[in-house]
Amino acid sequence: MATNGKTTVKGDPFIEVKGLCKSFGSLQVLCGIDETIRRGDKVVVIGPSGSGKSTFLRCLNLLEKSTSGEIWFDGEEITGPKCKVDHLRQRMGMVFQHFNLFPHKTILENITLAPIIKKVMTKAEAKEKAMSLLTRIGLADKAKIYPNMLSGGQKQRVAIVRALAMNPEVMLFDEPTSALDPEMVGEVLSLMKDLAEDGMTMVVVTHEMGFAREVANRVLFMDSGKILEQNPPDVFFSQPKHPRLKDFLGKIL
Amino acid sequence: MQVLLNWYHGLVKAIDSTFIVDGRYQIFLEGLGNTLIITLGALLLGVAVGVFVAISKVYYYQTGPFYFWSSLGSFLRTGQLRYLHQAILKLLDGLLSCYLTVFRGTPVVVQLMIWAFVVFSTTHELLVAIIGFGINSGAYVSEIVRAGIMAVDIGQTEAGRSLGLSAARTMQCIVLPQALKNVLPALGNEGIALIKETSIVGYIAVIDLTKAAALVRARTFDAFVPLLFVAAVYLFMVMFLSFLLKKLEKRLQASDRK
């Protein structure tokens, strides 16, 4: 992966968050987040609902505007007024809890829409890329049908592939399996695992502790707008230190 | 029997004098042509105006609220263009609200006469009629389309933006197609209302279908045939439009099938 003529090395600081705060009116959701995500990182963010995990993730690609603090992406400040938001988002894929596939477009069109409009590829290239991605997730036969005819798990896999079609350098996942029937969670997680094995930089907000344990190289615990603890998964789950984390793990494990 | 026969002869004579004598069918043809031109032109103008107004209002709603004088003050103080942008947005939103209030709050026939006799006073009455009906219709269409846009899940916009599409592209390729599909029945209502509303255009000396009937009636002293005839023509036009809408709706429902 090389962008802006720079060669990139795994382990380089990639997204740097400094003192990030976010308020909705009088409600403070993020209170001073400092965090560095390196190239090749697989970071899983866990925490109780309302702890600010999703807001943190959405601040990273500027779907939410931070109230104060800085975010640096690949050496450039993206929280300043000069940031080219659309160009930035092209480099960061995002997957949503409710899939957000475009219901009026076929599966193929869902995937090729952005690459064609943003002129990342020609029509033919975009189609070829989309078909190879669909083949990879075993849904090539669904290319011509509409999202409504897919199951939840299939929809989410298509949504992941749609983000991948733009060749992003980092993927953000916002509770990708929370809206799925239990028997469909596995297929989505295994696609995400494949992605992680390919070396994709990933930030995942999830409640799937198995996934965190297996795939993450770092797990963050967030509560009331702060990162209270972070560690590699084996230490994180076996020796939690912060009482809030102990309490949280005690409830869910 | 004799009564029926007399009535029949009278009817044939009336039909003859309404349509054939002096080539009067030509007046009806001219009227029909004008009605169609005005309806079509106003419909296109109304949808264009309505979509523009709806998008502007939604955009303001999603980014605002701003305050005109304080935004302008901030711009003059700091020179930052985003404050000027906010001030312009607020001004535009205010103007559009005035537009909706005025054009939905006054009778269309009064508006039409103001366009024809106060604003333009030209001889291009057809064009004036298209502008008059189009701008009036745009006020109603804009609220229909606005409802449609706001009913599309915000996640659709977020998905579009997260893929790197601009706000305008997201609106054009993702939100608007879904919004228009949802409001098609309501837009059809507006089209149907518009066809019939054009029948008052005689007030500004355009010969439309209704005016044609009135002209012929004044010559033949028979009201029955011309009025029932134009009523039937309006009915037919509305039925045809409903038929087209139903077909369009069916086609757009392709993505709904489970």
pLDDT at B61: 85
Inter-chain CB proximity B254 and A87 less than 8 Å: no
Q: Number of A to B CB contacts under 8 A, please give it.
A: 76
Note the ipTM here. Answer: 0.90
| CA nearest to B253 within chain A | A104
Q: How far apart are CA A88 and CA B163, in angstroms?
A: 10
B256–chain A Cβ distance below 8 A for any pair: yes
Q: How far apart are CA B112 and CA B118, in angstroms?
A: 10
Inter-chain CB proximity B255 and A103 less than 8 Å: yes
Scanning B64-166, the segments in alpha helix (DSSP H) are 68-78, 81-105, 108-113, 125-151, 154-162
What residues of B are in contact with residue A126 (Cβ under 8 Å)?
A: none
- Residue A1 above 50 pLDDT? no
Question: Which of A93, A113, A148 faces B258 most closely, judged by CB atoms?
Answer: A148
pLDDT, mean of each 10-residue run, chain B (258 residues)? 89 86 88 94 96 92 81 82 84 94 96 92 87 96 95 95 94 94 93 95 91 91 91 96 92 74
Inter-chain CB proximity A89 and B153 less than 8 Å: no
A94–chain B Cβ distance below 8 A for any pair: yes
What residue spans define the domains of chain B?
207-253
Q: Are the C-beta atoms of A20 and A71 separated by less than 8 Å?
A: yes
The predicted model gives A76-95 an average pLDDT of 90
Report helix angle B224-252 to B209-220, nearest 10.
170
Q: What HEC string does A60-126 produce?
A: HCCCCCCCEEEEEECCEECCCCCCCHHHHHHCEEEECCCCCCCCCCCHHHHHHHHHHHCCCCCHHHH
- Residue A3 above 70 pLDDT? no
A148–chain B Cβ distance below 8 A for any pair: yes
* Local confidence band at A2 (pLDDT 50, 70, 90 cut-offs): very low
pLDDT at B79: 75
- Best CA proximity match to B62, nearest among B181, B172, B179, B158: B158
B97–chain A Cβ distance below 8 A for any pair: no
pLDDT at B258: 54
B81–chain A Cβ distance below 8 A for any pair: no
Helix and strand numbers (H, E) in chain B are 11, 0
